[in-house]
Structure 1
């Protein structure tokens, strides 16, 4: 009886471990990724890279128990693990649902008009900007996955295809000045100005290099 139980546990372990490494995972799922690419015009490289990233190449708990390869949240009926992620009947169903999300949900569906099926960098950045993941490095991690495993080779790129150049979004915030200007009016003094501006006489004197508290109308005071 003990030997039978041990054998069953070993069999279960082998069954659950669907992907030993990333190369095996790619080989197992490249066909469905390419089929989806040809039907829906989203790069197979992106489909594979997102799946690898979100499922740890099929080794995550939600991939193993829920067939969820894209980190999609939702209800599930699984009794083995408690999870906020939805379950699928098969890996292929999970792959199909990811592409369905891209096609039917805004703002993801606008990406099809911006990027072709060969532009994996554009797709990765577009998916991130559309809110798929909260991590600021998500797109760069997915792109790195494509490059590491040469996943773009599965995108059916035409000979001589030139990758579009995407400008890196750099947000330049204007440096907020720590000092604002108040023009002294008749009857003003440092105490009145400090009260108006929510600061102290000492701070005003220091900011303005004042040695005396006396002010003149028309004088500019930093606060």
Structure 2
């Protein structure tokens, strides 16, 4: 009976250990992220934001069993789960490997020279463009987490720092069709409209026609 109670205690303790809130996760690993920021000049907010996103704030299986907080794939020696993700001896080593991983790939390494440690939006989008994740909304999700939990407070931004304004989306108008059609003997507006997947009314409007009469050799805008 005592053995059963002891096992229940251990299970309960394990469950509560994994029931960490995102705020508690941030409090636990903020200093690790800040130290990496100081050494490598990548925003601490990005490090924390990616970790929270990829590990569900430390609650994902690969975080719990493999200490993998960044979704890095690779070999592991775990006997507890089968996974295609890399294992780490400690969570801190997972954080350090994330930086090493970025610096070892040319499309990520270029970001260290291109962006400063304050522009977390540019970093998130740059990491996504480099192919870190398949999801097209990955950067948007990481940025949303950074804003929600105000992770930018760990980036040591100068008091006079002005956050870059997001560029406004450019909407390009569809180019007008420049197609024309030369009327042939036996053509009529119905035949021409059907052949070119349009309507008689549209052809008449584009060409200012008041009647359906056509002449061979006549040029029509489509």
Into which bin does the TM-score normalised by the smaller protein fall?
A: 0.7 to 0.9
Give the 5 Å matches for 1:11-160. Answer: 11-15=10-14, 17-18=17-18, 20-160=20-160
1:200 pairs with 2:198: no
TM-score by length of 2: 0.79
Q: CA RMSD in A?
A: 3.1
Give the 3 Å change call, closer, same or farther, for CA 83–182 of structure 1 in structure 2.
Answer: same
Deviations 1:80-99 (A, max 9, x none): 22323222221111111111
Give the 3 Å change call, closer, same or farther, for CA 156–204 of structure 1 in structure 2.
Answer: closer
Distance in 2 separating the partners of 1:213 and 1:88: 80
Task: Check conservation: 1:54, 1:69, Cα contact below 8 A.
Answer: yes
Q: Which runs of 5+ in 1 are unaligned?
A: none
Q: Which runs of 5+ in 2 are unaligned?
A: none
Task: Check conservation: 1:19, 1:57, Cα contact below 8 A.
Answer: no
Give the 5 Å matches for 1:166-205. Answer: 166-168=166-168, 170-175=169-174, 177=176, 181-184=179-182, 189=187, 200=195, 205=200
Give aligned pairs, total. 215
Distance in 1 separating the partners of 2:196 and 2:120: 59
